[in-house]
Structure 1
Amino acid sequence: MRPTTRVAGRADVRGLASVFAQAFHDDPVMAWILPEERARTVGLPRLFATMLRHFYLPYGATDLAAQDTARDPLGGAVWTPPGHWQPTRWRGLRAIPGLARATGRRGRAGVRVTEALERAHPHDPHWYLAIVGVSPAAQGTGIGGELIRARLATCDQLGMPAYLEASKAGLVGYYERFDFRVTREITIPGGPSLWAMRREPR
């Protein structure tokens, strides 16, 4: 039975945060922010939960895939609609305690990543794919692709471009399958690189 896709709500925060924490455990950017494995294991679920609650769920564009009979998600794709890629000052302030608990003494590294991404981010109207991840047990089953295509169909209907950052060179080819193209390389000062990618509507 194929998983079904639906829009995530607040009741899904813990499950989605767990999926993203597993999917991004060995991600170069996350490993740079939290270099100690124990810190990542504890901090990443907190980090993703905080981001979901304060930055993303309010816009109603976070999709998850789950089996019909299961509440726990197998994967998720976090999008922001045009004009909402950057958290408001109020949302940012409310998120500070959770972000601080997640990153501890490595909080400054997280700020460096955020600042670099913001400098590179386009300012014309677009849909932003902020996070996409699938639980390790379900990777390679096509769930991630289904989640991406579902929202790209909306982009095409509305005539809107889409934007993302690939945190691994190996992911560039994956996103190119969905017609994303690299627009620039983003270098974190003292840290890893990411690749900004954009897709024009079809």
Structure 2
Amino acid sequence: MHVEEWLQSIPAVWVCVIVGVVIGLESLGIPLPGEVVLVSAALLSAQHAVSPVWVGVCASAGAIIGDSIGYAIGRKGGQPMFDRLGRRFPKHFGPAHIARAQAAFDRWGVWAVFFGRFIALLRILAGPLAGALRMPYWRFLVANVLGGIVWAGGTTAVIYYLGIVAERWLKGFSWVGLVAAALCGVGTTLYLKRRAARAHAVEHEGETALLP
């Protein structure tokens, strides 16, 4: 069962709660599909199954609260915590992942927290890493709140209006719309797979070059 189908089977209020909880846990540092859940809930709102306002509010609250808890955990655990996580969960917290996240913080500073909300890797690590690096909490909080609201509210609004437009368009051009959507979906999937494979190959070459 897809995420959207599962969300359709539960009451609207619980959809909003699940969105907030999943995004909050992801922001805290647990690798969960927060963005997938948010997009699915926003699509449901375009079908009038749930309020887009409440989806955006709950998603924003989950992002802000989760990142804040992650900050506290990272500040207490420090670098040793990431070392332990890297040994236990190398796929998500391996040295290469942590190094890339730290490089983003070194380059962008507090903006890494704001823009990290839009990047899968930093979305999980931004809070704990900011705490471990002893970023002043007030600076973290400002970037965290702004990033959470812009990401959650913006994603919900964009997906909601795209869903409304797509629904109206498909009513007038049903078969044309279905063919175009299918072709677009296949093309996008192939493009993303090619980019992911290319990025993986480059990363693998870089790791190989670092070996003695």
Q: TM-score, normalised by structure 1?
A: 0.27
When you count helix as a share of all residues, which structure comes out higher?
Answer: 2
Q: Which has the higher strand share?
A: 1
Larger-gyration structure (1/2): 2
